[in-house]
Chains A and B, each alone.
Chain A
Amino acid sequence: MSDAAGAAATTDAGIAPLVSGDIEGRSLGDRIYRGVTTVFAAAVPALLALIAIEVLVAAWPAFSRFGLGFVTSSAWDPVRQQFGAAPMIYGTLVSSLLALLLATPFALGVAIFLAEFAPPWLRQPVAFTVDLLAAVPSVVYGLWGVFVLIPFLRTTVSPFLRDTLGLSALPFFAGADYGYHMLSASVILAIMILPYTSAVAREVLLAVPRSQREAALALGATKWEMIRDAVVPYARSGIIGGVILGLGRALGETMAVTMLIGNRHEISSSLFAPAYTMASLIANEFAEATGDVHISALMAVGAVLMLTTLIVNIIARWLVWRVAREARA
């Protein structure tokens, strides 16, 4: 049967069944609409593939020259054309994970308060304020970090941790504190990712069915027990998704971290030692990179950063999937 005949047949039948083949053949407008949306949908993966290919091609000379040493070596010497990205990989992972560790309890606290305890008149303003944190430009966080956070950490938090709590014997808190270090960068990152995690967690908690809460309360649960045993487990996979969204953001954050982390190519166990991240390195050196090997090495760092983000996302998907499966079981 030809398309035209098919269209005529459905018109005759009055109500057309919504099957895709039918829509396709119905009119020119529908076909164009379908074509345009298909192009849009295909453009995004194509763009991503193009970026990945470009970066890998540009990075290839560095990978083939340094091999595995590129990710295990700590030498970064543009004068002698020796490049190893281990300190930057370490710095990116540690600063992001530390930020996650600091931000997640806060974000969950905010979300649970807003979803379960806050009176309706308070909920919107507080939620809006937290969301607004996400709209502050990165460089403003950086400036605030330099002028407010660093002096506060150096004069108040650092002496408290080291002298009052006596933690200076631990390798995490050893060495002189000049303010520009891993901990400063992690704290600013934590503030920056908090709104993402908290907004997602809040929406997920609000989406938990009322019957879930009522069932728990009917069994004699207190409010705390209800949240702990009925609401949060129900929303678990969504909350993990929110945490991972924050982590993805922390991994790629550039400007604020560059301003606070001290930019030193060195792996140190101390959180009071300056460090470096992959994104900061690229931002710092790309504009004035001299020589093909240097540019290629920076591209290779970009490729490693993309790969790291990809692996983190895969782990996140797997976590969400596993949690969702447990919830069903």
Chain B
Amino acid sequence: MRRITALFALLALAACSQRDTGSKDRTAAASSGAVDLTGAGATFPYPIYAKWFSVYDSLTGVKINYQSLGSGAGIKQLQEQTVDFGASDAPMSEDDVSKAKGGAVLHFPTVLGAVVITYNLADVTQPLRLTGPVIGDIFLGKITKWNDQRIAALNAGVKLPNADVLVVHRSDGSGTTFIFTDYLTAVSAAWKSGPGKGKEVQWPVGLGGKGNEGVAGQVKQTPGAIGYVELAYARQNSLPVAHVKNTTEAFVAPSIESITAAAAGAMPSLGAGSDYRVSIVNAAGAQSYPISSFTWLLVYQAEPDAGKGQKLVDFLKWMYADGQAMAAALDYAPLPTELRQRLTARLSEIRLGSAAP
């Protein structure tokens, strides 16, 4: 009987260790000493945010604690006013904004990310070329073979195998899925009337992998597989990525430059009066990579605590001035210079020491 008791103790230990796996890194940003500002939200920009907060702390002594709980959790915590700022890979909907207890919320783009198409075709050495409608039909299950006429027409001279296409998508809710389906909705009518866009959608075909590593792992292991991951993840793991046709009929490789170019191409829609809750997929410009997106910091327009509000504004100013230069080293695309100036000017819209109207 004693051994059974010991076994249950082991069982309890194992259960504990399972619970922990989901929460790793969440509190890694918490440093000792008093914290001046707290934020929560998206996991995708966590590496660059952690870098910014640590450098900013060493420069100014202002400590910012960021918990990468996911965009949804960031929005919820901002609505409940349990954090000083939120962060999200998808802009807040009207419904989300109306539920925020602190009044109007301002969206500040921080850096740019992109979603890339990765695949497993051993004999194809040069990058595959794809268009939006073809990607849409692959993920809709309408194109089922790699040597399909429509893929072959885009890749003259490439020997495509007569193999089944295996679609791999994210199984967990994710900003990456939002950007990808946002793009497909923009370029494919069949996708728009079919699965639509969201952090999770009803996939017509394919396997689900958890996280970027889940999708990449399944693609790597399965000949003929195709999936989508964040650019940063693909670069750090040297995955093959497809070149995608943009609005100027050019096939563009995903890179820091081509993503920044997409934001520059979208500048006309970001004029005065814009609230920056905009999608920049399929942006104009010859160099633009079409599956690009902002990631945002979410800040209340009215900051009742003037001290905290000032610290937040100061940080954002520094981030647009000096912080942007650190982005590329961590595989995030910096914002175009013109946009940084507009956003810095927009910081004056934050009202310090006033309650919500």
Task: Please list the residues of chain A having a beta carbon within 8 angstroms of any beta carbon in chain B.
Answer: 75-80, 127, 131-132, 134-139, 146, 150-151, 176, 178-180, 195-196, 199-200, 203, 254-255, 258-259, 262-265, 274, 276, 280, 283-285, 287-290
B202 contacts A by Cβ under 8 Å: yes
In the complex, the answer to whether B208 meets A285 with C-beta atoms within 8 Å is no
Which of A131, A134, A254, A284 gathers most chain B CB within 10 Å? A284
CB distance from A193 to the nearest CB of B (A): 11
In the complex, the answer to whether B14 meets A138 with C-beta atoms within 8 Å is yes
Q: Which residue of A lies closest to B175 (CB)?
A: A288
CB < 8 Å neighbour of B207 from A76, A146, A264? A264
Q: Which residue of A lies closest to B18 (CB)?
A: A138
Q: Which residue of B lies closest to A82 (CB)?
A: B202
Across-interface contacts of B69 in A (CB, < 8 A) = 287
In the complex, the answer to whether A134 meets B10 with C-beta atoms within 8 Å is yes
CB < 8 Å neighbour of A199 from B4, B207, B209? B4
7 contacting pairs across A/B (C-beta < 8 A): A178-B222, A200-B4, A255-B18, A264-B207, A288-B173, A289-B72, A289-B173
Which residues B183-226 have CB closer than 8 A to chain A?
Answer: 195-203, 206-210, 214, 217-218, 221-222, 225
CB distance from A299 to the nearest CB of B (A): 15
B350 contacts A by Cβ under 8 Å: no
In the complex, the answer to whether A262 meets B208 with C-beta atoms within 8 Å is yes
In the complex, the answer to whether A284 meets B173 with C-beta atoms within 8 Å is yes
Determine, out of B45-53, B164-172, B265-273, B296-304, the stretch whose residues face the partner at the interface: B164-172
Known: A134-B11, A135-B13. A79 touches B4 (CB 8 A): no
Known: A79-B198, A203-B3. A290 touches B207 (CB 8 A): no
CB distance from B259 to the nearest CB of A (A): 23
Q: Which residue of A lies closest to B16 (CB)?
A: A137
Cross-chain pair count, CB within 8 angstroms: 126
In the complex, the answer to whether A199 meets B3 with C-beta atoms within 8 Å is yes
In the complex, the answer to whether B73 meets A287 with C-beta atoms within 8 Å is yes
In the complex, the answer to whether B222 meets A179 with C-beta atoms within 8 Å is yes
B1 contacts A by Cβ under 8 Å: yes
Known: A79-B196, A287-B73. A137 touches B173 (CB 8 A): no
What is the CA–CA distance of A303 and B61 in the complex, to the nearest angstrom?
48
Across-interface contacts of B174 in A (CB, < 8 A) = 288
B7 contacts A by Cβ under 8 Å: yes
In the complex, the answer to whether A288 meets B71 with C-beta atoms within 8 Å is yes
B17 contacts A by Cβ under 8 Å: yes
CB < 8 Å neighbour of B198 from A76, A78, A135, A150? A78
B39 contacts A by Cβ under 8 Å: no
CB < 8 Å neighbour of A265 from B71, B172, B198, B202? B202
CB < 8 Å neighbour of B171 from A78, A179, A258? A258
B60 contacts A by Cβ under 8 Å: no
Across-interface contacts of A264 in B (CB, < 8 A) = 203, 206-208
Known: A284-B210, A288-B200. A138 touches B21 (CB 8 A): yes
CB < 8 Å neighbour of A79 from B10, B202, B222? B202
What is the CA–CA distance of A206 and B152 in the complex, to the nearest angstrom?
68
Known: A287-B173, A290-B198. A134 touches B72 (CB 8 A): no
In the complex, the answer to whether A287 meets B72 with C-beta atoms within 8 Å is yes
What is the CA–CA distance of A132 and B14 in the complex, to the nearest angstrom?
10
Across-interface contacts of A276 in B (CB, < 8 A) = 208
What is the CA–CA distance of A259 and B4 in the complex, to the nearest angstrom?
30
In the complex, the answer to whether A139 meets B200 with C-beta atoms within 8 Å is no
B70 contacts A by Cβ under 8 Å: yes
Which residues B4-36 have CB closer than 8 A to chain A?
Answer: 4, 6-7, 10-11, 13-14, 17-18, 21-22
Q: Which residue of A lies closest to B224 (CB)?
A: A178
Which residues B307-336 have CB closer than 8 A to chain A?
Answer: none
What is the CA–CA distance of A179 and B222 in the complex, to the nearest angstrom?
8
Q: Which residue of A lies closest to B210 (CB)?
A: A258
In the complex, the answer to whether A203 meets B1 with C-beta atoms within 8 Å is yes
Across-interface contacts of A254 in B (CB, < 8 A) = 18
CB distance from A307 to the nearest CB of B (A): 21
Q: Which residue of B lies closest to A75 (CB)?
A: B202
Known: A139-B21, A255-B21, A288-B72. A263 touches B171 (CB 8 A): yes
What is the CA–CA distance of A240 and B71 in the complex, to the nearest angstrom?
46
Across-interface contacts of A79 in B (CB, < 8 A) = 195-198, 200-202
**Interface flags, B151-164, vs A, CB<8A=1, else 0:** 00000000000001
CB distance from B205 to the nearest CB of A (A): 9
CB < 8 Å neighbour of B7 from A77, A131, A287, A289? A131
Across-interface contacts of A127 in B (CB, < 8 A) = 3
A134-B11, A262-B208, A283-B172 known; 18 other A-B pairs, CB under 8 Å?
A: A75-B202, A79-B196, A79-B202, A134-B10, A135-B13, A146-B221, A180-B218, A196-B7, A200-B4, A203-B4, A255-B21, A263-B210, A264-B208, A276-B208, A288-B72, A288-B174, A288-B200, A289-B72
CB < 8 Å neighbour of B72 from A131, A179, A290? A290
What is the CA–CA distance of A180 and B169 in the complex, to the nearest angstrom?
13
Across-interface contacts of A178 in B (CB, < 8 A) = 166, 207, 218, 222, 225
Across-interface contacts of B173 in A (CB, < 8 A) = 78, 284-285, 287-290
In the complex, the answer to whether A259 meets B214 with C-beta atoms within 8 Å is yes
CB distance from B284 to the nearest CB of A (A): 27
Which of A76, A255, A288 gathers most chain B CB within 10 Å? A288
In the complex, the answer to whether B207 meets A274 with C-beta atoms within 8 Å is yes
In the complex, the answer to whether A180 meets B202 with C-beta atoms within 8 Å is no
CB distance from B8 to the nearest CB of A (A): 10
Q: Which residue of B lies closest to A295 (CB)?
A: B72
What is the CA–CA distance of A131 and B5 in the complex, to the nearest angstrom?
12
What is the CA–CA distance of A280 and B210 in the complex, to the nearest angstrom?
10
